[in-house]
Structure formats: C-alpha cells, structure tokens
C-alpha cells in the first residue's frame, strides 16, 4: 500500500508539539510493517535550510496554485523516509515558526498558506504534478492545517481513501466568510453540513465532514470529544459522524526515548541499573543551579505554558508547597503571562525552582531522565506523549484522569500498589487544590524507597510503542 502522510510538522525538522513526533514515528512504524510511506509538508525556510538542495523538483499544473509553487523531493539520513516539500517562497520562506511570527502572532495569511498546501497535495494526488512518479492509495491528513485535503479529494472525485486525524480538537483553523470567498472554495460547501461553522468556516470541520475515517489519538479522548466541554463546540458534528470516528492511542518512539541509549543524557540506565538515574538528577541540579540533593524529590515539567496544560495549577502548587522538601524544574514556552510568572517563581526560589523558557530537545531528555516525578495536570489531553516517555525513564507521572493520560497511567492507590500495577499518580478534580494534594501524596510515598522502586520498575516495563498503533491504522486504511 502506498500512503501519503500530510502534516504541518515533522521531527526533527520542525516541532511545536506532539504532532511532529507522531509525523516522524508513525510513518516509520508503517514502513516497518512493509508499507510504502511518503511524508509531505510545507517547505518552511527553516526546514529547507536543514535539508539543503532537493534531489529533484516538480512543477504543478494547477491554475489554483501560486506560480512559484513547486514540489521538492528530499531524502535525509535523520528521517529514513521519503519526504516531499510543497515550496513557495511567497508563502513559506520567512522567519518565525510554522504558524506564528517571531512575536508569537499568527501569520495573517495562514488561511492562504495552508489552503495552498492542501490544494498542492490534492493536485499531487489527482495527477496535477505529472512528472512525479508516485501514485497513492490513501492520504493520511493531520489536524486543521490539512483539513481541506479530504474535502477537495471528495469534491474532485479523486479515487483515494482519506483518513483525518485530530491531534487536538481545540485548534480548528477558523476563518471568516471573506477568507472562504478569497480562497475560491466551492460555494456549495457553505452550509451547516459543509464547512460553515457558526458564521465562519473551519478547516478542521472540513476534514471531519469529508474524510472517509476520522481518528483521534486515544480511545478516551474519542469518547470525551462527543460532549462539551471537550468537544469545543463540535459535539453535535462528531456525534453525527460517530460511525467513522476511531480512537487509536499514540505510541512512543523508544529508539529516541530510551534511558539505556539516550545520547542526550550522561548516565544511561535500565531496570537493572536504575541507581544510575540519581547521577542524572545530580547532573541536572548542577546544570540548573538547584541545590544538590539525592533525597529531595524533583518534579519535572516539559510543557507548552498554556491553560490547557494546567500550568496555573502547577504555579499554585509551587506556591502552596514553598518551604517543603521539594524541587521543580520547568521547560516550556507559551503564554507570556505564564512565562513571566514562572520566571518570577524561579528568581524568588533559585535553589528549589529552575525554569528554562524556550524549546530545548536535549534539556527535555535530561529532565525526563533526572526527575523523580513528572507533572502533567492537563485540563484535557488528547493523548500526551511525555507521560509515556516518563514511564520508560522511571519518572512517575502526576496526571489528571483525562484523554490519553487516563489510558496510560495507573494510579498508585493501595490496591494498585498491592497488585503491582501502579505506574504514577492520578487525580480527577480540575483544580489547583487537587493537584497540590496528589503531589503531597506522591512525596509521602517517595520516602518509602522499596515501594517507590517497585512502582518505578512497573512503570519502566510498560510498552506503548508504535507497532500496535500502526497496525490499527493499517487496518483502517484497508477498510471499505
């Protein structure tokens, strides 16, 4: 089967969140099952600078596309997969991120940038890039930036299966009617059963309505998004299309996230040598300016600093637990207000709270390897990957019972500890007080070293790799 995987992010070339990790790991897992996978994404300046010159470029024959748009074919040793870039200097050759400028403001022409990307991919699927030798059986689209692909495939009658994955329903690609008209989209789409959404239009809704299958990234999240508030206004729509909605849990790439071989950490360890983990803790404490201590519980946070992730609850827990034997290390970027509050907390408590604002893949690995606990108290979490990474590193997750967090972490209550199934700490109530209470429960258990080690070993034994998930996607691709 020939699969075209359409995405707006791809690790290690460009990443703002878990979509990039999935776009790297799932195609590789599908290839390991014997399938042929090609990834296609926009040709951002930063990506082209990393890749260098293309192996070949192909011209489109499509009057809807920008005149400067071409399809670049690349191969990169870091990826081990075929990669196509939809390149247009006028749309993608600019400083900043894939969706925002250097001031963290959304690009004014995002509707144009991603509509053109979707049209280019659809043109490729329909033979509008005549010199390109590949043909495809299925196109797997991801998040709102690719939502017009299933709609255009359906509109043009291209005989190809379409799968659309929702990684986070809160990001819906909503633009006004003027933008809809500017993009010259079919007028018959402008109705409640098309792309119209409360007087605007939504790329995400287009993907849901017109794709053959809609997937999301955990079974629990697939249930949650049928109702508010997790549905983000799309509950009725998703209930209407529930027959084609499937929850498939994301996997972890254990070739990248493995404490026995991770090149980003100084001291490797596995279940038989878990004592080496403490050396990583001391190394991180030294690096971040924290007080050196083997016995002080260290809580790691690697997150976007936004409301969804419950970072305001983390700040409240930090404040409530000042003076207690506890350290925090935080890595992330997001809301300027949250960034400022975390910096202020660190400046006031430099020996117990360390904060790094920004994106740093190496530091993220070091935090996973060094921390005793990992805080991920999300208000909602479609899947989440960091809690899965934490398990493999013997870093016990503290999570709220929602989405993929509920599917991957078993609370260390008395029964689970007795049955040797506990892997972390789970709370239900969406509040700062509930998070603070579960942190205190975790710290109390941390002092019971034999029990703690047993939970660590159970956590490290969990396996959420991509093999099973890729097989589930493959079965979906083949369904009529």
Judged by average pLDDT, the poorest of 126-130, 182-186, 271-275 is 126-130
**Per-residue model confidence as pLDDT tens digits over 75-110:** 888 788 899 999 999 999 999 899 998 888 899 999
Is the pLDDT confidence value at 480 over 80? no
Mean pLDDT of 421-434: 98
What does pTM read for this prediction?
Answer: 0.88
pLDDT at 103: 81
Residue 201 confidence (pLDDT): 96
139 and 223 housed in the same domain = yes
Task: Looking at the structure, tell me whether residues 161 and 126 fall in a common domain.
Answer: yes
Q: List Cα–Cα distances, 480 to 127, 142, 213, in angstroms.
A: 23, 21, 10
Of the pLDDT bands very low, low, confident and very high (cuts 50, 70, 90), residue 134 is confident
In this structure, the answer to whether residues 13 and 127 fall within a common structural domain is yes
Residue 102: its pLDDT value, please? Answer: 84
Residue 264 lies in a domain: no
Domain identity same for 221 and 311: no
Q: In terms of domains, do 292 and 350 share one? A: yes
Percent of the chain residues past pLDDT 70, beyond the cut:
100
Parent domain of 338: 271-460
Residue 379 has pLDDT above 90, yes or no: yes
Residue 35 lies in a domain: yes
Per-residue pLDDT band at 316 (split at 50, 70, 90): very high
For range 121-141, the mean pLDDT = 94
The answer to whether residue 259 is domain-embedded is no
Ligand-binding annotation for 478, yes or no, is no
Predicted pLDDT of residue 279: 98
CA pair distance 452, 457, nearest whole angstrom = 9
Work out the average pLDDT over 132-152.
Answer: 97
Mean pLDDT of the chain: 96
**What residues does 355 pair with on adjacent strands?**
330
Q: Is residue 96 part of a domain?
A: yes
* Residues 221, 141 share a domain: yes
Q: What is the dihedral of CA 231, 234, 240, 246, to 10 degrees?
A: -50
Rg (CA), the chain: 23
Q: Render pLDDT for 213-250 as a digit per residue (tens, 0 to 9).
A: 999 999 999 999 999 999 999 999 999 999 999 999 99
Is 261 within a domain? Answer: no
Count of domains for the chain: 2
Instruction: For residues 247 and 339, state if they share a domain.
Output: no
Nearest to 41 by CA among 131, 138, 129, 143: 143
Side-chain half-sphere exposure of 376, counting CA atoms within 13 A:
32
471 and 443 co-located in one domain: no
**Which residues have C-beta within 8 Å of that of residue 282, sequence separation ≥ 6?**
292, 294
Is 265 within a domain? no
Q: CATH number of the domain at 241, please.
A: 3.40.50.2000
**Whether pLDDT at 52 is above 80:** yes
Q: What band does 425 get if pLDDT is binned at 50, 70 and 90?
A: very high
Is the model more confident about 130 or about 320?
320
Does pLDDT of 262 surpass 90?
yes
Q: Is residue 53 part of a domain?
A: yes
Q: Say whether both 471 and 402 belong to one domain.
A: no
Instruction: Please state, in angstroms and rounded to a whole number, the distance separating the CA atoms of residues 159 and 138.
Output: 9
Residues 337 and 221 in one domain: no
d(CA 200, CA 181) in angstroms, rounded, equals 11
Residue 285: inside a domain:
yes
User: Same structural domain for residues 180 and 285?
Assistant: no
- The pLDDT of 9-36, averaged and rounded, is 93
Residues 77 and 133 both lie in one domain:
yes
């Amino acid at each position: 089967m020939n699969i075209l995987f359409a995405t707006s992010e791809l690790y290690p070339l460009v990443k703002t969140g878990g979509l990039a990790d999935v776009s790297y790991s799932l195609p590789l897992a599908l290839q390991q099952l014997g399938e042929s996978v090609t990834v296609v994404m926009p040709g951002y300046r930063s990506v082209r600078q990393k890749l260098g010159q293309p192996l070949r470029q192909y011209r489109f024959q499509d009057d809807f596309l920008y005149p400067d748009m071409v399809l670049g074919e690349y191969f990169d040793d870091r990826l081990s997969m075929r990669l196509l870039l939809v390149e247009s200097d006028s749309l993608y050759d600019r400083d900043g991120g894939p969706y925002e400028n250097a001031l963290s403001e959304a690009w004014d022409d995002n509707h144009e940038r991603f509509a053109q990307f979707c049209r280019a991919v659809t043109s490729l699927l329909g033979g509008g890039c005549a010199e390109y030798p590949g043909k495809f059986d299925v196109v797997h689209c991801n998040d709102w930036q690719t939502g017009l692909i299933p709609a255009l495939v359906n509109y043009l009658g291209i005989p190809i299966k379409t799968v659309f994955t929702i990684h986070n329903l809160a990001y819906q690609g909503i633009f006004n009617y003027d933008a809809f008209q500017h993009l010259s989209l079919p007028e018959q789409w402008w109705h409640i059963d098309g792309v119209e959404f409360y007087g605007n239009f939504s790329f995400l809704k287009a993907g849901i309505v017109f794709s053959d299958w809609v997937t999301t990234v955990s079974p629990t999240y697939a249930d949650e998004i049928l109702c508010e508030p997790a549905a983000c206004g799309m509950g009725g729509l998703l209930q209407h299309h529930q027959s084609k909605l499937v929850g498939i849990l994301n996997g972890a790439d254990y070739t990248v996230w493995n404490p026995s071989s991770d090149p980003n950490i100084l001291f490797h360890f596995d279940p038989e040598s878990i004592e080496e983990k403490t050396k990583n803790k001391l190394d991180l404490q030294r690096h971040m300016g924290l007080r050196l201590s083997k016995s002080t519980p260290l809580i790691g946070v690697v997150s976007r600093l936004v409301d969804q992730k419950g970072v305001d609850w983390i700040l409240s827990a930090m404040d409530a637990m000042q003076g207690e034997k506890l350290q925090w290390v935080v890595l992330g970027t997001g809301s300027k207000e949250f960034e400022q509050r975390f910096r202020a907390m660190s400046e006031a408590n430099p020996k117990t709270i360390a904060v790094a604002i920004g994106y740093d893949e190496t530091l993220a690995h070091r935090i996973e390897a060094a921390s005793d606990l990992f805080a991920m108290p999300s208000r909602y979490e479609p899947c989440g990957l960091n809690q899965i990474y934490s398990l493999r590193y013997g870093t016990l997750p503290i999570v709220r019972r929602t989405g993929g967090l509920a599917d991957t972490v078993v609370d260390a209550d008395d029964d689970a500890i007795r049955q040797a199934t506990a892997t972390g700490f789970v709370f239900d109530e969406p509040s700062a007080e509930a998070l603070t209470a579960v942190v205190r429960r975790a710290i109390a258990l941390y002092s019971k070293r034999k029990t703690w080690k047993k939970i660590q070993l159970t956590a490290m034994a969990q396996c959420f790799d991509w093999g099973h998930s890729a097989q589930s996607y493959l079965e979906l691709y083949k369904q009529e």
